Amino acid sequence: MNRLLKGALTLGTYLVLYGLAFSREPREIVAQPDSEQGRDIYRIHCQECHGTEGRGDGPRAAMLAPRPGNLVSAATSTKTDQELLSILAQGVPRTPMRGWSDQLSEDERRNVLAYVRSLVHFQETSPTPLPPP
């Protein structure tokens, strides 16, 4: 009886997993972020503070305290997409960076993030030459 129960449970588990893997229910399709659309949104909403290259040197930057973040810095570049999307949506407390969730859809914020990520250009450095022997 124990073998029969084990076999039934194994078969049941297999059928459930098989059914989940091949279910005919539609899955949500997530659009790929569009950095070109993100560029347009960035120019309208972000460039004034963060500057054309994302360095935090826009025309309003000098008047803001604290200054806008450098979006191409190592500190920003190492943040996860989720962290940056949260900042875009909710803003940063005690700074002029406000949240954009009321004005920009999630897709628009993802597009802006894609554009900001495209601004980061790592330069390959040549190795430091060894001193002569």
At 110, which CATH number?
1.10.760.10
What is the C-alpha separation between 111 and 64, in angstroms, rounded?
25
CB under 8 Å to 62, separation ≥6 — which residues?
none
Higher pLDDT, 10 or 49: 49
pLDDT of residue 25: 54
**Structural domain includes residue 71:** yes
- Is there a domain that residue 127 lies in? no
Domain residue limits at 52: 35-119
Please indicate, yes or no, if residue 14 is contained in any of the structural domains: no
Instruction: Report pLDDT digits (tens) over 27-83.
Output: 555 679 999 999 999 999 999 999 999 999 999 999 999 999 999 999 999 999 999
CA dihedral 45, 47, 50, 51 (to 10 degrees): 180
Using CA atoms, how far apart are residues 121 and 133, in angstroms rounded to an integer? 35
Q: Is residue 5 part of a domain?
A: no
Q: How many domains does the chain have?
A: 1
21 in any annotated domain:
no
Inside any domain, residue 2 = no
Question: In this structure, is residue 10 part of a structural domain?
Answer: no
